[in-house]
Amino acid sequence: MKKHLLSMACAITVLSACGPKVPQLGKSSLDDVIAAMTLEEKAHLVIGTGMAGFDGGDSAVVGETHSLVPGAAGTTYPIERLGIPAVVLADGPAGLRINPKRDGDSATYYCTHFPIGTLLAATWNQDLVENVGKAIGNEVLEYGVDVLLAPALNIQRNPLCGRNFEYYSEDPLISGKIAAAYVRGVQSNGVGTSVKHFAVNNQETNRMGNDAQVSPRALREIYLKGFEIAVKESQPWTVMSSYNYLNGVYTSENAELQTTILRDEWGFAGMVMTDWFGGKDAVAQMKAGNDMLQPGYDKQYQAIVEGVKTGNLDEAILNRNVKRILEMILQTPRFKGYKFSNKPDLKTHAAITRQSATEGMVLLKNENATLPLSAQIRRVALFGCASYDYIAGGTGSGNVNRAYTASLFEGLKNAGYETDEQLKKEYEMHIAAEKIRLTPKKEKYSAFMPVILPVEKVFETSRLKDLAAQMDIAFITIGRGSGEFLDRESSNFYLSKENQQLIQDVCRVFHAAGKKVVVILNIGGAIETASWKAWPDAILCAWQGGQEGGNVTNHVDITRIHYLQIIHDKRVAVKLRLQRFGS
């Protein structure tokens, strides 16, 4: 790709020096700008600027670009002679993902880690999610990014899907309504979104080789319905095609999906881009209506140029895709010359995070009014590694480089509860030792892979009796992580023998002392509860609440927690739908 960039630079220099005045984006019509573009420029515009290790692209590692905003996922190709700037595309669903540190710069560029998508969907509150979107969009704007690669609204078809934490629900209505609210909030800042992954991207393992076989009715009523709602109710700037095959055809090469359904039926007027390295046939992608191929590599460039020259790709189709990209660029803050500050209001956004995370918690069990805590409860015995090393969200493109993550221990202290400092030290030593033991060999994609969690710590009965005598109640936090590239294993779905032993032992000892036990689930996806749910007095699903998760969970305020009684009384679910969505 470097040699093409060099030749283009030389050509631009000659044209600028000797040629007539050329059309300029924003001043001339789009048709005039496109007519002035060379075939090579068009081919460059419909692919990204590449990645290091892949034909000399500009990025240092997978998922990062260094040319404009360090840590952003990618950029578009600039054509300066026509007034076409490069615009910046960045992850992700739980908040903007860019590098917090920059070479030769002492400043920090942290972003707010908001609650995961599943938690936001559990609020059933479109106004709240739109408010979260507004805060995320402000950080996108003030850090100089143009399009946020979010939200993710694939159906949670497989409960072990590694990216379920990004996805909203197994229900298409909730997914579509929540996604639409998120998009409206983000785009109210004058920046774009990319609704993803279109479509039926429901597993991470073998995600580029998986062929999702779906009947037409199930496709329409379940897997596409959320996207349809989001497109019609929020008009996202872009849509991102998924990695997988759908009924034997790559989604990014599927004209029925990208053109017939998305544009002709739903009226989508924006741009479609691939997921990074998605699809195989660049010409087929162009024909299908997948306008931009990210991050872009030389083979795609060559295929598009050669396709036009040989007649395999009608240049009118290429022009159509170029026009859609230019229409997107015209809307961006970078094209409009916005002077971003690099200083969003992170303190205010942290408060929004706390509010949204609180409302999304789900109380799964609450015997004998265990929650909310009575005024007599002041001393809490805190068990579980995740109580001290809280899991803010998933890994990969859905992660956020944040300034801090508040643990439950810190949250309880901030709320005025007493905890056991010696117990804290025991856990810190155990967690540190486990991290050394479990740290994988550093590889190219290691930052994207799911974190291996510590083996849970168990205690002698004598130690538990001492704590039960001193403390008023016991909290046990069970943590589960997941991320890109791999689906969860069954061992992540079921509690480990150490998890089960800890819950059983703490319940046995504390109940004998007349004290109650609360289990808190710090999870991104469903886990098995049937085998152990009888032991504790209360079970609170806190999900993964972002950087303020520990400060949120300590509230355990019954007025801010949803009772999930759908299994026992489906009328509740119907009533909630009517109240929230008017449908």
Which amino acid, 378? R
pLDDT for residue 412: 94
How confident is the model over 471-520, as pLDDT tens digits? 999 999 999 999 998 999 988 999 999 999 999 999 999 999 999 999 99
Which of 359-368, 373-382, 519-528, 546-555 is predicted least confidently? 546-555
Measured on CA atoms in the order 460, 465, 470, 472, is the torsion positive or negative? Answer: positive
Query: What is the structure's pLDDT at 295?
Result: 94
One DSSP character per residue, 387-416 reads HHS---S-BGGG----S----HHHHHHHTT
pLDDT at 451: 74
AA letter at 143: Y
pLDDT, position 445: 63
What percent of the chain shows pLDDT beyond 70?
87
519 close to 538: Cβ distance less than 8 angstroms: yes
Nearest to 40 by CA among 309, 360, 252, 420: 309
**What confidence score (pLDDT) does residue 50 get?**
84
In the predicted model, is pLDDT for residue 6 greater than 90?
A: no
Q: Please report, as a single letter, which amino acid is at residue 264.
A: D
Model-level pTM? 0.90
pLDDT tens-digit series, residues 63-76: 445 579 999 999 99
Sign of the torsion formed by the C-alpha atoms of 522, 113, 371 and 383: positive
Q: DSSP of 549-567, one letter per residue?
A: HHHHHTT--GGGSEE--TT
**78 or 438: which leads in pLDDT:** 78
Which sequence positions are flagged as catalytic?
A: 275
Residues 6+ apart with CB under 8 A from 532: 495, 500, 503, 504
Strand-pair partners of 195: 239
- For residues 59 and 303, the answer to whether their CB atoms sit within 8 Å is no
Name which of 196, 5, 194 is nearest 88 in CA terms. Answer: 194
Strand ranges inside 161-225, DSSP E: 192-198, 211-212
**pLDDT score for 577:** 47
- β partners of residue 212: 246
**Mean pLDDT value across residues 389-414:** 94
* pLDDT at residue 322 tops 90: yes
Out of 9-23, 123-137, 162-176, pick the least confident: 9-23
Give the mean model confidence (pLDDT) for residues 408-421. 94
pLDDT band of residue 52 (cuts 50, 70, 90) is low
How does pLDDT run across 140-150, given as a tens digit for each residue? 999 999 999 99
CA torsion through residues 535, 540, 543, 548, sign: negative
Phi, psi of 221 (to 5 degrees): -85, -25
90-125 pLDDT tens trace: 999 999 999 999 999 999 999 999 999 999 999 999
- DSSP β-bridge partners for residue 363: 540, 563
Average pLDDT of every residue of the chain: 89
- Return the minimum-mean-pLDDT range out of 122-131, 303-312, 390-399, 560-569: 560-569
Distance CA 81, CA 22 (A): 7
- pLDDT attached to residue 66: 57
User: How many residues would you count in the chain?
Assistant: 583
Contact call for residues 132 and 182 (beta carbons, < 8 A): yes
**Residue 238 pLDDT greater than 80, yes or no:** yes
Per-residue confidence band for 565, with pLDDT thresholds at 50, 70 and 90: very low
User: Is 83 a residue whose pLDDT tops 70?
Assistant: yes
The token duo for 292 is: 């931009």
* 453: region left, alpha or beta (phi > 0 left; psi from -120 to 50 alpha): beta
pLDDT at 128 over 50: yes
